[in-house]
Amino acid sequence: MKQRVLSGAVLIALVIVCMILSPYTRILLFTAAAVLSVPELKNVFRLKDIKCADWAVYFFIAGEAGLTVLGLSVPVSFVYYLALLFLSMFFAVMAGILDEKVHGSGALATDGILLYPMFLYAAITYIGVSEGWIATFVIACLATWVCDSFALFGGKAFGRHKVAPYVSPHKTVEGCICGALSSLPTGVISYYLLGALGVHNVPLWLCVAASLAASSFGQVGDLAASLLKRMAGIKDYSNLIPGHGGMMDRADSLLFSIPVAWFCLYLAGAL
């Protein structure tokens, strides 16, 4: 437990510093997270005797980081990210055709990695340098972290019915409900926190609604990451972060909650 708390505190401090320093450090942070996730995902498929064309994934990561840096000086449409994704998926398919070790299963696995989680990492990097990044990250991160805690305690106290026993044996319907309900007061806290940070264009109702959506989709993100782990028969993606597992173990919920929070704010006209 001591090791978990210590490594968690160091990780949070590193993230906060990178987030507040500049847009470039935010790009570096999310790009590093994506890069560190590649060997973890590659290992998942390797355990199922599937070889991925990881170079196509690294090509996409480098490309989306470059596009985001470019977007700081000239307008860059998200269409370019879609084009980069298409090109990277094309490379993965060609690797399957030309490399007998990759073959069809490896090409499909690589395309899967490009769609999840790499395209979500790209979306978060894009959001991280956008005008509404503060509101998005405050709402999404608070909602996700509070939801995780309440879902855990709620599941232990009231849990009776399993959500998906094969995917996550310890998650219960009652715990998920407790986690989702916790997002309501969290949304109120986010509203006042954003006000203290000088962000006044996000109304209270929107903070609460976005918090609820982010926490709910964050729980789905956690289950999505667990699905891959169960497929490979592993508990954690790696031991990169002592006491916490791998990068994917830490990023799984946020990969879903951050884009969803941004989408809620965008639809409501707050961005």
Task: Give the model's pLDDT for residue 160.
Answer: 77
Report whether 41 contacts 228 (CB < 8 A). yes
Share of the chain above pLDDT 90, in %: 73
Domain limits of the chain? 1-129, 132-271
pLDDT digits (tens, 9 = 90+) for 229-255: 988 889 899 988 887 889 999 999 999
Share of the chain above pLDDT 70, in %: 99
Task: Give the model's pLDDT for residue 1.
Answer: 61
- CA distance linking residue 63 with residue 75, whole number of Å: 16
DSSP collapsed to 3 states, 29-42: HHHHHHHHHHHHHH
pLDDT digits (tens, 9 = 90+) for 251-262: 999 999 999 999
Hey, what are 54's tokens?
Answer: 């990881």
pLDDT of residue 159 exceeding 80, the answer is no
Confidence of residue 114 (pLDDT cuts 50, 70, 90): very high
Weakest-pLDDT range from 47-61, 202-216, 242-256:
242-256
Confidence of residue 172 (pLDDT cuts 50, 70, 90): confident
Task: Give the model's pLDDT for residue 22.
Answer: 96
pTM for the full predicted model = 0.94
Task: Give the model's pLDDT for residue 140.
Answer: 96
pLDDT of residue 202 exceeding 90, the answer is yes
User: Contacts from 21-30 at CB under 8 Å and sequence distance 24+?
Assistant: 23/72, 23/128, 23/129, 24/69, 24/72, 26/125, 26/128, 26/129, 26/133, 27/65, 27/68, 27/69, 27/125, 27/128, 27/129, 29/128, 30/121, 30/124, 30/125, 30/128
Task: Give the model's pLDDT for residue 29.
Answer: 97
pLDDT digits (tens, 9 = 90+) for 9-34: 888 889 999 999 999 999 999 999 99
| Cα dist from 113 to 23, 168, 222, 234, whole Å | 26, 21, 16, 18
pLDDT of residue 137 exceeding 80, the answer is yes
Task: Average the pLDDT over 198-215 and give the result.
Answer: 96
- CA distance linking residue 28 with residue 22, whole number of Å: 10
Confidence of residue 51 (pLDDT cuts 50, 70, 90): very high
pLDDT of residue 151 exceeding 90, the answer is no
